[in-house]
Structure 1
Amino acid sequence: MTLSRQEFRQQVRQLRQQLPHHFQQQAGLTLIEQFALLPELKFAQHIALYLSADGEIDTNPLIDWLWQQGKQVYLPVIHPFSKGHLLFLHYQPETEMVLNKYRILEPKLKQPLIRPLYQLDLICTPLVAFDSTGHRLGMGGGYYDRTLQPWFDSQRGPKPIGLAHDCQHVSKLPIEAWDVPLPKIVTPSTIWQWETAV
């Protein structure tokens, strides 16, 4: 029997929420080792990330490491007027943060901090599960599917890279028409790649 998207979501979320704290800490550090191997990183200066929640792999060590490399980091903010869309704001250690409607910290919306999507180099996306063809299952809001659609249509703009625990991999996800497969997903143990022709 094939699991529904919602069943996959529940199952994998439960799996990652149960990961012990020390395992989470180590996974966040090991993720840096894989991320550092990405050839795209060499020329990427403006990198969108996200703050982990709900058992997602800890992105704080990666953010700190990127700052040390002199990279600029941006975080998603729920668009106040355009429903279901994201803005990306420059993030630094002193950035003022607020809780959004999902109880996730995001930078306080300030116009000068916004960087247009096309001026980003990489977008690191959260995901609940991913399969062996690069499809990702998100939380169901469609924010990243909408954000990544221009890249998927034209292969232009910031390249999306998924971040996940190894345990979030499943063999095959049920796919919907709007799903945007990722060209790369980085886990603590490997870099999954599905390079599409440009």
Structure 2
Amino acid sequence: MRLPLAAPFEPHPEQSSRHQIRKALRRRRRSLSRHQQRQAASALAQRLMASPALYRARHIGIYLANDGEIDPAPYVTAARQRGVQFYLPVLHRFRDGHMEFAPYNETTPLQPNRFGIPEPVFNGGHGRPTWALDAVLMPLVGFDLEGGRLGMGGGFYDRTFEFVRQTPRLAPKLIGLAHEIQRVVRLPIEPWDIPLDGIVTDQCRYRV
């Protein structure tokens, strides 16, 4: 029997700015226990492995979970058995506020970037252009069913994938990953926000 979906988060009218919603949702996901996080990661992996959007994908951008983010690591382990190659975002060497994607496997050496987030030691040698990725699985702070995405506020994904507005045929599928408890009734959207093609949670797959 399928469990009912978690109720979406509905901000109080007086606390509905992006900053306030972000703060509340980060607190929500950090409240999950380690056991709940492991269960969520396992359920997420099953949904991603069964996703038609990823069935033919062979080059996928991924992230390392922190701050209570849902963990894609079990999916990465399973998908590697299908021959999928994964890439982690690193801060761009020349374009401030942008990212590039470096190959990632279990032996890839990591180092903290200026935000303290681990990323591959990368000199640009064997990276993959963003347009050549089949899909990018990106972390969410919050999402709604219109494809709205609330990130950490740095705008790195929005700037990196801004090109999809002009050349959508070259765009990878942009799929957000989150706990179901991060779903919001309606997010305030900014003009620069890059919309998602879909969202996958521990409880459901949403196609935008």
> TM-score, structure 1 length as denominator?
0.94
Greater Cα shift, 139-148 or 8-17: 139-148
Check conservation: 2:112, 2:119, Cα contact below 8 A.
yes
Partner of 1:17: 30
Rounded Cα–Cα distance in structure 1 between residues aligned with 2:133 and 2:84:
11
| Residue 152 to residue 36, structure 1, CA distance change in 2 (3 Å) | farther
> 94, 100, 105: which is aligned to 2:118?
105
Partner of 2:183: 169
Offset at residue 66 of structure 1 (A)? 1.7
Check conservation: 1:151, 1:159, Cα contact below 8 A.
no
> 86, 94, 103: which is aligned to 1:90?
103
Rounded Cα–Cα distance in structure 1 between residues aligned with 2:131 and 2:28:
35
Check conservation: 1:124, 1:160, Cα contact below 8 A.
yes
Structure 2: unaligned runs, 5 residues or longer: 1-12
The RMSD of aligned alpha carbons is 1.2
Identity %: 43
Tell me the number of residue pairs that the alignment of Structure 1 and Structure 2 aligns.
194
Structure 1: unaligned runs, 5 residues or longer: none
Check conservation: 1:84, 1:143, Cα contact below 8 A.
yes
Partner of 2:83: 70
Check conservation: 1:77, 1:87, Cα contact below 8 A.
yes
Check conservation: 1:148, 1:160, Cα contact below 8 A.
no
| Residue 152 to residue 189, structure 1, CA distance change in 2 (3 Å) | farther
> TM-score, structure 2 length as denominator?
0.89
Check conservation: 2:49, 2:79, Cα contact below 8 A.
no
